[in-house]
Amino acid sequence: MQDITFPKSLKKGDKIAIISPAGSVEIPQLDKTLELIKSKGYEPILGENLYIKYQNGYSYAGTEKERINDINWALNDPETSAVWTSRGGYGCQHLVQHLDLKEFRKNPKWYIGYSDNTVIQSYLLKKGFASIHGQTIKTSSFGVTEESYELIFDILKGKKLNYKIDSNPDNRVGETSGILVGGNLALIYALLGTPYSFDFTDRILFIEDIGENFYALDRMIMSLELAGVLKKIKGLIVGGMTNMGKENENKEYEESFDSFAYQLIANRISKYDFPTVFGFPNGHIFDNRPLIIGSEINLKAEKKVQVDFKNS
């Protein structure tokens, strides 16, 4: 089994680096969460290029060089104890070949984010480090629960995660244990066949996504099958599937757990017998509870679903 390092717990007064590794952000979009971090007794330290905007077919938070400089500063600065990303979007793939972990290895720290940050979290796990797949500093248009942030602070304090959620009709009952991998499905798919892809053997895979056409979702699940991923994993957790199926122009885009997306996934994995949980509260959704990528978990899917994290 891979040796995975879990960063040490934070204490009051510790500094948290705030960076924008992908899409650009406006100052007011971060103010509320930055104040929340301060109220918890931590000091947010802003990356030099946090609020930079660079247009190149997309509004990036700076050039590739600027974003590389910020993420390497955040990962390696001995003065900071965690790295919290402002948002996802697109752009983390630009950085992954240039990441420097020289000082990070001596002082591992939590990396917090989701969406496009799946790329960085996959890289960190390949190198043996756990990370937090959780809410970014910027909240999206659908907002975020207070508990979603509180649970991140719990992890930073060293508390273990345990979740009990309602069962879903598409679930496949069973119990299994393994290291949790995954994140945003589009990025898991984009990393397949590269040196930065997750190792899926005997792992429990988590997936979530937003705004994909149903045929694109099917294509990504098919790619997981063709790459042998579904033969390797011991369990599957499916989180938010939000605003899916935009090929239907008359559809209301308000679903967090799209029933047709779930049915599509369930049909594709029907020949496999691993336990499967649908409707887990993580993703581009209001109730975005954090997961620890790299933690060994016990997954029990019965009348109630229980997910217990053994490491934090």
Q: How far apart are CA 271 and CA 61, in angstroms?
A: 43
Residue 302 identity: E
Strands (DSSP E) contained in 215-274 are 235-242
Q: Identify the pLDDT of residue 312.
A: 75
Q: How far apart are CA 173 and CA 145, in angstroms?
A: 28
pTM reported for the whole predicted model:
0.96
Q: Which distant-in-sequence residues (6+ apart) come within 8 Å of 216 by Cβ? A: none
Unique residue bearing structure tokens 């020289």: 102
Q: How far apart are CA 211 and CA 164, in angstroms?
A: 27
Q: How far is CA 174 from CA 77, 159, 236, 276, 299, in A?
A: 44, 26, 11, 8, 8
Q: Which distant-in-sequence residues (6+ apart) come within 8 Å of 18 by Cβ? A: 30, 34, 44, 45, 46, 47, 50, 84, 85, 86, 137
Q: Identify the pLDDT of residue 276.
A: 98
Q: Identify the pLDDT of residue 149.
A: 98
Give yes or no for a contact between 290 and 132, defined as CB atoms under 8 angstroms apart. yes
Which SS3 state, helix, strand or coil, does residue 139 take? Answer: coil
Tokens of 180: 């949790």
Tokens of 68: 């590389």
Q: Identify the pLDDT of residue 248.
A: 61
Which SS3 state, helix, strand or coil, does residue 121 take? Answer: helix
For the chain, 312 residues long, the average pLDDT of each consecutive 10-residue run is 91 98 98 98 98 98 98 98 98 98 98 98 98 95 93 97 96 97 98 98 98 96 98 98 78 76 97 97 97 98 94 78
Show the domains of the chain with their CATH numbers: 15-156 (3.40.50.10740), 162-309 (3.50.30.60)
Nearest CA to 68 among 45, 95, 46? Answer: 95
Q: Identify the pLDDT of residue 142.
A: 84
